[in-house]
Amino acid sequence: MLSALIRNLYAAGAAVLCLAAASTAQADNYPSRNITLVLPFAAGSGTDTTTRLISHHLSQALGVGIVIENKAGANGMIAATFVARAAPDGYTLLVTTNTTHSANPYLLKSLTYDPVKDFTPIARTGDLPFMLVVHPDVPAKTVGELIAYGKANPGKLSYASGSSSAIVSGATFAHNAGLDLLHVPYKSSPPALNDVMGGRVSMMFVDILTGLPHVKGNALRALAVTTKDRSPLVPNLPSMQEAGVPDFDISSWQGYFGPAGVPKEIVTRLNAEIRKIVEKPEIKAQLATLGMDAFSGTPEQLGTFVGEQLVLWEKLITNAKIEKQ
């Protein structure tokens, strides 16, 4: 019996060594085929546009193709769950924002993934500031005028949302300014913005990349940015706090994640290449024209940041009195 036990232990140990060797070989040969980047938002969104720019350079750096797969819907839960359940081999990655990894745990009653346990942090790529835009027919050219109009016409104003940042920004604005606003949710920002431009919804908090071309074309009027201070991307716009809305500081961040268990060697390789890309002055400048403040860091820094953001967004959502859906 003892010899049988020893044989079993030897066999188990040999199996573990074989798995470790296979994992090491896989990491050494990585990447050997196309990589799929899964996005929780539709084509044309800020995350989609900036990811396509970064992925072009990432494909060149890694020597393989990069496939963008947009899986919009359920506030990003469809995409996040898909990647969480994918093989942890570095070939299926999630490019996401605070929607899936900061806000959803406090916005949704039934979450089909864990933003910490189910993912391997790879690299943060920057922030995407938001701004408040209104349809030109809304009789307000400043945030103060918008608040005054809203109070004089309770229930008449509505706001669209295509992400958690838009949901929380709208609810925070309504709560902090004491307004009665109708929330109209959408799967992603582009269709939400279309209805604001069509006059079917009064306003929206939207990332600068998606909204600014329509502001420049006079289809929308921009009133303020959601960050605590003015954004260098649109320096002429006041912050919400500067415009008279207290305790308002909301920004969307962006980062790359793999499923839990991606080998460290693969994470290190991906992190190094992504950081090289977003830290190049010419690419950083290109991303700035797309409304993104680009910067990066280590996988460990991204993991710590996600934990901090979960605490922050829980506070934002609680303070805005948003009920889980």
Nearest of 72, 251, 279 to residue 166 by alpha carbon: 251
Q: Which residue has the tokens 């403040």?
A: 293
- Tell me the torsion sign for CA atoms 197, 200, 201, 207: negative
Q: Tell me what pLDDT residue 129 has.
A: 85
Least confident segment among 2-16, 34-48, 61-75, 308-322: 2-16
- The per-residue pLDDT for range 117-128, each reduced to its tens digit, is 999 999 999 998
Least confident segment among 3-12, 88-97, 140-149, 243-252: 3-12
Q: Report pTM.
A: 0.81
Can you list the pairs that 271-279 forms with residues at least 24 positions away whose Cβ atoms lie under 8 Å?
Answer: 271/122, 271/123, 271/298, 271/299, 273/58, 273/61, 273/62, 274/54, 274/58, 274/122, 274/123, 274/125, 275/123, 276/61, 277/54, 277/57, 277/58, 277/61, 278/54, 278/125, 278/126
User: Is the pLDDT reported for residue 45 higher than 90?
Assistant: no
- The per-residue pLDDT for range 133-173, each reduced to its tens digit, is 999 999 999 999 999 999 999 989 999 998 888 999 999 99
User: Is the pLDDT reported for residue 70 higher than 90?
Assistant: yes
- The per-residue pLDDT for range 216-228, each reduced to its tens digit, is 999 999 999 998 8
Q: Tell me what pLDDT residue 290 has.
A: 84
Chain-wide mean pLDDT for the chain?
90
> What domains lie within the chain, and their CATH numbers?
33-128+253-319 (3.40.190.150), 130-225 (3.40.190.10)
Strands of the chain, DSSP E: 35-39, 66-70, 92-97, 119-128, 130-134, 158-161, 182-185, 203-207, 221-225, 252-259, 293-294
Q: Tell me what pLDDT residue 208 has.
A: 87
Q: What is the CA radius of gyration of the chain?
A: 22
CB burial readout 107-145, b (16+ within 10 A) else e: bbeebebebeebbbbbbbbbbbbbbbbbbeebebeebee
Euclidean distance between CA atoms 81 and 123, whole angstroms: 19
Residue 18 or residue 300, greater confidence:
300
Residue 149 or residue 27, greater confidence:
149
Q: What tokens were used for 235?
A: 């320096």
**DSSP 8-state secondary structure symbol assigned to residue 52:** H
Euclidean distance between CA atoms 219 and 208, whole angstroms: 14
Euclidean distance between CA atoms 311 and 206, whole angstroms: 23
User: Is the pLDDT reported for residue 6 higher than 50?
Assistant: no
The contacts of residue 237 (CB under 8 Å, 6+ apart) are: 131, 222, 223, 224, 225, 230, 231
